[in-house]
Every structure is written in C-alpha cells, then in structure tokens.
Amino acid sequence: MKAVCADDEPLILKYIVSLCREIPLLDETEGFTKAQDVLTWLDKHDADVALLDIDMPDMDGLLLAAKIREKRPGISIIFLTGYSQFALDAFSLHASGYLLKPISREKLENEISFALTGHQSQKSGQISVRTFGNFEIFADGKEVQFSRSKSKELLAFLVDKRGNTTNRSEAFAALWGDQLYDRPMQKQIDVIIRCLRTTLQNAGIDHIFEMTSGTMRIHPEMLDCDLYRFLDGDIEAIKAYRGEYLRSYSWGRLTEGYLLQRQLLVEDAENGK
C-alpha cells in the first residue's frame, strides 16, 4: 500500500511521513510541501491513501482532495488539520478520515487501517463493496462509476438486502420516500434499473445482479463486502466500523443501529463484561 502526504510545514510533514513509515500497512510513503507537487507525482504514480493538511497557501487541502479524486477516483482521503471547523466540508468530499493535530501514531494508524479496509481486498478478479461510510464498489481494483446517482443507490439498497429479493415498488419507496408511485415514476424506476444493468455490464460485473418475474436481487456470495464480513463475525471488519453505514442514504439507518449494537456487544465480550 502506498501513501502520499501534503503539508506546507516541512517539520510537520517530516513527522507525518516518519509515522507512516512505521505503519506496517504502508509499503511506501511520499511527502510534499506543495499541493501541485502531489498532483504532478500522481500523474505517474498510484497511491491508496492521501494524507492532506487543509490550510495550505498554494492550494487548500479540500481543493487538492477534489483534484486528487479526479486523477485517482478510488483513493482514500484523510485530512490532518488543526481546525475542527473544516470537518463538515471534509466529509462532503467523502473523506475516509479526519484527524486534529497534534497526531499520534496510534490514531493515525487506526485511521489508515480504516481507510484501507476496502483497498486490501481489491485484488484482480474480485468485486469489493464498501458500505461503512459512503457506498463504493470496485471491480478488479477500479471504482465503478455510475451515470445516475439513483442507480448507485439502488445497488446499495440491494446490497443492504443481502440477497433477498425486492420489487419495483419497494425499491421506489426506499429511493424516493413518500413520493407518489404513479405511472411516470414507475417509468422512472425502470430507467434506473436499466441504467444500473448497463453500468454493471460496462464494468463486466453484471452477473452479480439478477432480475426475474418483476423482482430483483444481488448475489452476496460474489461480493467481498465489509457489511457481510461484519455480520459473519470478522473481527477486523467489526473494529473498522465507525458508526456510519451508507452515509448518504436515510433508509440505511436501521442497519446502522443494528451494526452499532453488534459492535458494542463484541467489545463488551472482549473486555470481559
């Protein structure tokens, strides 16, 4: 795993890079004091995680994160800053982590471990799904891009169903809430389903989706998913859960609460309570 760091303060940058080089998950770490140097480096190199200061003179970390995502859509972003007021803006960019300075190795390692949970399983031939935080799906290590946000949400809803079938009206109720399911909206859900199938076909993973007799489902056994590993009792997945599940979708709150309860029970058992 590779990390790239950006901080305009040389001493702080040196400290962060030294901490990263002590973390077993990371094989390589590069540091830069200028945001543009990070972008130039990423033109020829790949990275799994970017550790970014927010308050930098040539380009602030939020803008840098957006530009990094344009070059490397699947990269995880962790913001390191002394200003807590940037947290909301940071997470609007789908940041994987946010640490306030001064930073300890333990906290940094925990954030990096969480950020790289999905990346570790993105091997050739695998389909990897992240539901903790924001929803992401990777095919052969590359993030699948959706032309419509609702088709992405539909796939997330099917992942949450864990292989159980759903019909158009149930899917519509999740995606559009209390909106009237009239004829125009019935046509709209059909468009969303077609877009989802096209996206999956273009990514070469359409076999994970099944639709028969008006019902649809995904095949959970074909996915490496943090949710499924959590429910199977995988300790690393349980520890990686930070209380946020499918952050963008309100219908995920029920599962979110259940996961938190399960996590607390496991932690109590480990602590002998």
* CATH H-level, domain 2-116: superfamily: Response regulator (3.40.50.2300)
Residue-range domain boundaries for the chain: 2-116, 127-273
Residue 99 confidence (pLDDT) above 90: no
d(C-alpha 41, C-alpha 242), whole Å: 31
Categorize the per-residue pLDDT at 91 as very low, low, confident or very high, splitting at 50, 70 and 90: very low
215 phi and psi angles, rounded to 5 deg: -115, 155
Q: Residue 128 to residues 107, 121, 180, 205, 225: CA-CA distances in angstroms?
A: 26, 7, 34, 11, 6
Instruction: Report pLDDT digits (tens) over 155-169.
Output: 999 999 999 999 999
Is residue 50 within 8 Å of residue 77, measured between CB atoms? Answer: yes
Residue 199 confidence (pLDDT) above 60: yes
85-94: long-range contacts at Cβ-Cβ below 8 A with a sequence spacing of 24 or more? Answer: 86/54, 86/62, 89/62, 90/54, 90/62, 90/65, 91/247, 93/62, 93/65, 93/66, 93/69, 94/133, 94/134
As a whole number, the mean pLDDT across the chain is 87
Residue 259: helix, strand or coil by DSSP?
helix
Tell me the DSSP string of 116-141: TTTGGG--TT-EEEE-BSS-EEEETT
> What amino acid is encoded at 241 in this protein?
Y
Read off the DSSP letter of residue 245: B
Among residues 250, 12, 248, which one has the least CA distance to residue 134? 248
Which pLDDT belongs to residue 265?
Answer: 85
Query: Angle 211-213-173 (CA atoms, 0-180°, nearest 5)?
Result: 70
- Between residues 145 and 74, the one the model is more confident about: 145
User: How large is the average pLDDT for residues 104-129?
Assistant: 73
CATH fold of 127-273, please? Answer: Arc Repressor Mutant, subunit A (1.10.10)
Tell me the DSSP string of 25-84: T-SEEEEESSHHHHHHHHTT---SEEEEES--SSS-HHHHHHHHHHH-TT-EEEEEES-G
Which pLDDT belongs to residue 146?
Answer: 95
Categorize the per-residue pLDDT at 123 as very low, low, confident or very high, splitting at 50, 70 and 90: very low
- Between residues 182 and 95, the one the model is more confident about: 182
Which pLDDT belongs to residue 125?
Answer: 55
Report CA dihedral (246, 249, 254, 256) to the nearest 10 degrees: 20
Residue 213 confidence (pLDDT) above 90: no
Supply the pTM of this predicted model.
0.64
d(C-alpha 242, C-alpha 260), whole Å: 8
